Amino acid sequence: MKRNGLFVSLVFCLAIFGIVRPGIAGSSDEPPAGLLGNMQQEGWQLVAPGVLQRHLENNKVETLGFGAEGLRFKLDEMKAQYAFLRAELELQPDNKELRKVIRAQRAEILRTAAAALESAKSADGMGSLTEKTAGGIDCTIKYGANINAFHLTGGSPGVGATTDAYFNSNCGQTGEVYALSYSKATGADNVVRTATHSDPANQVPRYGGNVTASTSDTVVGVRDCYSKSYATVTSYDIGVTYAQSVENWSCPNPLNVSAYVDYSYVQLYGYDCQTVTWTAAVSGGNSPYSYTWTRNGYYVGSGPSYSEMFCGSNYSSSYGANATVTATDNSSPGQSGSASASTWIYTYANSSNCGPSRYCLDQPID
C-alpha cells in the first residue's frame, strides 16, 4: 500500500534536524511554508529562490535547494569549483590526479545542467513526492555529509581535507552523491605539494537507493596552505539538493618550547639556602598552554615556572640540578614539546679562610 506523501520522511529533515521527521510532499521550487519557519529558527536563511543556507562551526556552509532553482544554484557552485581546479591545473600542468578530478567535476556539472534543463521544462519540477513514493508506514529517506578541511600538527605538519556524502531510501527513490577534496601546501624545502580526489573518480555517477561517496587528502608543508572539502547529495525524484562545503587557509603553527634557569651556578656556605627558578618559554601552537615539570624523572609541579630551594650541608660538594618542562597547547590534536635547563650547586664548609664576604680559598674561579 502506497503511503500518503504528507507522512513521508523527507530527505532534508535529517540534514536540518538530525533525525527523521515527517515532511510535506510537493514539487515547488520553494520549501513548504511551515517547514521554512522552523528552519529559519534554526539558523537557515533564504539566499536565493528555492535555496537556503546556514553556517556551521569551523567555517562550514550547509546548503539546501528545492526544485529547478536548487539545481541551478548547485550548478553555479560546481562551475566555480571547476574554474578553481582549472586554474590550479595551469600551475601544475603535469598533475595527473588533478586532471582526473577535473574530468569528474565536468561530468557532474553536465549531469546537473541536463537535470536543471529537464526540470525547467517539466510542470512537476524535479518530481512529485506523492507520485514517486513507494513503501509502507516505515518509509524513510535519509542523507547527510561530513566534511573537514584542517591543518596538521605534530612531527609532519601540513594540511588535509576529508569528505563524505550518503543517501539512503527505503521508499523507492534514488539519490546521487559526489565528494571532492583538495589540499595544497609548500614545504620547508620550497616544494609545492598537492593532493586531490573526487568520488566517483571516473565519469560514472554514484546513484541508487543506498549510496556513499568519500575522499581524503593530506600534504606536508609549512606555508601557502589551503585545503577544501565539498560534498553534495541530489535526489531528482523528490526535488531536493543538499551540500556542505568548507575551506581552510591556515598553515600549521608548530609549538616551540625552551627553558631557562635564573642561576647558571649557586654557591652555598655552611647551611645557607638559595631558591632557584626554572622558567618555560613557549610560542606557536594554540594558547593557552599547559605545563608539566619533572626533576630526575619525577613530577614536581605545573605552571609556566618551577622553583626549588637548595641548602648547604656545611661540607664541600658539587652537583648538577636539571629540570625539564613539557608544554602542551590547545590544538586538536594537541601539540607537545619538552625542554630542559641545568644549574650547578656548589656547597662549602665554613672555615677560617672565609672572610666577611665569604670568599673562600676553595671557591671556584670562573
Q: Walk along the chain (366 residues) and give the pLDDT tens digit of each residue.
A: 332 222 233 433 433 333 232 232 333 455 556 677 788 888 999 999 989 999 998 889 999 999 889 999 999 999 999 999 999 999 999 999 999 999 999 999 998 998 888 776 664 444 444 444 444 456 788 999 999 999 887 667 899 999 999 999 988 889 999 999 999 999 888 999 999 999 998 878 999 999 999 999 999 988 899 999 999 999 988 889 999 999 999 888 778 899 999 999 999 999 999 999 999 999 987 789 999 999 999 999 999 999 999 999 999 999 999 999 999 988 666 778 899 999 999 999 976 445 444 555 455 544
Entry pTM: 0.65
Helix 96-121 and helix 67-91, axial crossing angle in degrees, nearest 10: 160
pLDDT of amino acid 120: 65
The answer to whether 62 and 77 are in contact (CB under 8 A) is: no
pLDDT of amino acid 204: 86
pLDDT of amino acid 41: 85
pLDDT of amino acid 13: 41
Q: What is the CATH number of domain 255-348?
A: 2.60.40.10
Cell 631558591 sits at which residue? Answer: 275
Query: What is the C-alpha to C-alpha distance for residues 48 and 50, in angstroms, rounded to an integer?
Result: 6
Domain with CATH 2.60.40.10 in the chain: 255-348
pLDDT of amino acid 233: 96
pLDDT of amino acid 360: 52
pLDDT of amino acid 168: 94
